[in-house]
Amino acid sequence: MLWIHLLCTAVLPSTLALAECLWQDYSSPLDDTVRQTCGAEDATGWQGPEHCMGDSCLYWNPRYNNGQGLALITRGEQAMEAAALTEAATDGPPLTSPEDPPFRVAEVPGKGRGLVATRLIRTGEVVLSVRPVLAVDVDAFHGLPEAKVGALYDRALEKLSPAAREGFMGQAGDDVRAKLARNAFTLWIGARGKHMAVYPQAALINHDCRPSTTYRLSNLTHITTAVRDIQPGEEISLSYIDLMQPRAERQARLRGWGFDCRCRQCSLPDHAAAAASDANVARIHELTAALDSLDGAVTADTGRELVALHERERLHLYLGAACTRAALNFGMFGMRDEVVAYGERAIEALERQLGPRAADIPSLKALVEDPTGHWTWGLRTRRGKGKGEEEEVRGDEAASNEL
């Protein structure tokens, strides 16, 4: 109710100042739903709620993203948070210019439409920065008839600009529900508001098990960043799944997305090459577990091996975590120069993956600035010496008892 109150008491343009909040039954294909609207938009452009089903209603802002529009099917609490996010500045780059993007839309054999680089895109460069056109609470429609859900989707799309509506309908999928299921990204609005959000241009980026980009969400903005150099004419790719799995498991998961993956990694020419790649992934898991345990059987070079395996497997999007572990491990063995080198690499990789405000970056910067002052400095060497000293003391005690 607070959201409705805020909309109805907002400072409105003078021509709309006398608009009154309307509550009335609304005859539509949605049957039992109630139309609730203030009859006018508030000062920021937000309108709604309308067409409520339980706690979820339709909210929209036709002015959002330079008039492209945004429609939300969500609860009032999340709608308020989304409205605040649309007004807040992101920590990311400017939106991608439609006049001069570093890519073009092209037909990709066996995949349909995709994005292909039109020039060299450097590691760390923002490839795409876009805003959503539709976001739907994942819990909005549990147990509701498909006809009602479909009708509400139709209402939501009517709130978008023609260009945004065309972009949504041009995505893969037979109907609105299928397009949402196949193309949406997970977007959290508030701590409890898990949504499916549609970014039509970002949805054109096809999957690859060794992708060239990673993405993050800053407020509502979808930011795609290159994790390695992308050559002119190369298809831009990202990952739909966790890639730290053997080939057979990856392929099985991707069939759930409605396609058989034929990327370079899944199309390795012989069984031996595929088995070697799977063994590398298994070794990555083994090294990670060892590095994460103070009792793990590791050497100073274990972290170096972990990073090298990521590079050999072209798992560039996971280098942030790998370099972080390597830097910490070098510090535990008292190797200052290596701490600095791998710590700086970790910071760069995490900024690409998670943005400049990633949680681990302040700690990594402190580690790089003063490796010897970090609590992990020399930890493994100290623990090793402690065990040896204990054994020596025990031996002396035994000898004295024998005397």
**In the predicted model, what is the mean pLDDT of residues 166-173?**
88
The rounded distance, in Å, linking the Cα atoms of 369 and 339 is: 10
pLDDT of residue 88: 58
pLDDT tens digit string along 29-79? Answer: 333 344 444 444 566 788 989 988 888 899 999 989 888 999 999 998 899
| pLDDT for res 246 | 95
| More confidently predicted of 309 and 18 | 309
Mean pLDDT of 108-112: 89
Cis previous bond, 362, omega within 30: no
Q: Is pLDDT of 3 > 60?
A: no
Least confident residue range of 102-106, 179-183, 237-241, 329-333: 179-183
Token representation of residue 212: 């060239």
Lowest mean pLDDT among 28-32, 126-130, 243-247, 266-270: 28-32
pLDDT band of 382, cuts 50, 70, 90: confident
The CATH number assigned to the domain with range 2-226 reads 2.170.270.10
| 270-308: pLDDT as tens digits | 889 999 999 999 999 999 999 999 887 899 999 999 999
Which of 9, 29, 6 has the alpha carbon at shortest distance from 19?
Answer: 9
pLDDT at residue 264 in the model: 92
pLDDT at 83: 87
| pLDDT attached to residue 201 | 93
SS (H, E, C) 184-232: CEEEECCCCCEEEEECCCHHHCEECCCCCEEEEEECCEEEEEECCCECC
Cα separation of 212 and 12, whole Å?
Answer: 46
Above 80 in pLDDT, residue 394? no
Q: Where are the domains of the chain?
A: 2-226, 271-380
pLDDT for residue 265:
94
Q: How far apart are the first and last CA of the chain?
A: 85
* pLDDT tier for residue 22 given thresholds of 50, 70 and 90: very low
CA distance 300 to 304: 8
For the whole model, what pTM was predicted? 0.81
> Mean pLDDT in the chain?
83
Q: Which of 78-92, 115-129, 264-278 has the highest average model confidence (pLDDT)?
A: 115-129
Average pLDDT over residues 378-394: 57
Q: Provide the pLDDT for residue 98.
A: 63
17, with CB counted inside 10 A (0-12, 13-18, 19+), is: exposed
CB atoms within 10 A of CB 268: 15
Does residue 393 register a pLDDT over 70? no
